[in-house]
Structure 1
């Protein structure tokens, strides 16, 4: 269940809903980091690799043109913070998007990433960057800033 404490970020992007959907299902590597396969259908599992021993695996719970939901099913991070992987396990990443006259408003919620958690100080600024800069730049200018391992 989402709470008011869960990390949230919204950004207005000059593109179509179809472009956002494609970026969040087939082009994750263009704005976030290398993935082993597309994340298109519910039940699909994909792994994002951040180099070294850092990776996350996500299961697609739903993928619609207004909401995509991923659940973290595996986490191995090189942040040397005790309990950080356990904090990610079972967390849910919600991507909600709506077309407006000005573009598409993308709202990202990392359900389980909360200010008193172990990962918040590292993960919240990273999400700020990947959502408001890398994803936005990829969709508006064709060039994101993904982690390249």
Structure 2
């Protein structure tokens, strides 16, 4: 199998400032429900009518590392709509080689060229990590997806999505005999 998708950015900020900005998921990626600041926290990210994913925070090392397990997903534009389920998103943070900032190595473990969503998903991750997240870290302003008008989701919509992720996780556990 080919390597996982990765992207790397170097930013004019300390590793701790970088870590703190990554935890501000709505400010660089888009609206979420749930929380991202403690191991075990869960959140859902949604692109209305296209994509939702549930995440569990599995690792937090302040100034160094953040990892999220995808606990459930639905990608409407590919045949295996749950292709992300069971993959892991990782941010490894270190001081920049020149000593003037921080370097972030982003990896989506399980997102390899062999999976159907690779091209679309890596293009999106690139936009958010190398564009929006980098901008948030360096300027305080990201460019997250912002859905309003007919695409707006209510709190009830988000609760339905959380429920869908929980049900997908439960169904997956039953299929594996857990």
Same fold, judged at TM 0.5 (above): yes
Gaps of 5+ in 2: 148-178
1:147 maps to which of 140, 145, 148: 145
| Per-residue deviation, residues 77-122 of structure 1 (Å, max 9, x unmatched) | 232x100x32200000111001231211000010000012111010
TM-score normalised to structure 1 length: 0.90
1:34 aligns with 2:31: yes
What's the CA shift string for 1:122-148, capped at 9, x where partnerless? 001111111111000111112111111
Give the 5 Å matches for 1:39-118. 39-52=36-49, 54-65=51-62, 66-79=64-77, 81-83=78-80, 85-100=81-96, 101-118=99-116
Question: Who wins on radius of gyration, i.e. which is larger?
Answer: 2
The count of corresponding residues between Structure 1 and Structure 2 is 144
| Partner of residue 166, structure 2 | none
Go from structure 1 to structure 2 and tell me whether the alpha carbon gap of 1:41 and 1:90 turns closer, same or farther (over 3 Å shift).
Answer: same
Shift of residue 74 of structure 1? 1.1
Unmatched tracts of structure 1, length 5 or more:
none
Name the CA distance, whole Å, in 1 between partners of 2:34 and 2:22: 12
> Post-superposition shift, 1:53?
5.5
State the Cα RMSD in Å: 1.5
Q: Which structure has more RCO (C-alpha within 8 Å, separation ≥ 6)?
A: 1
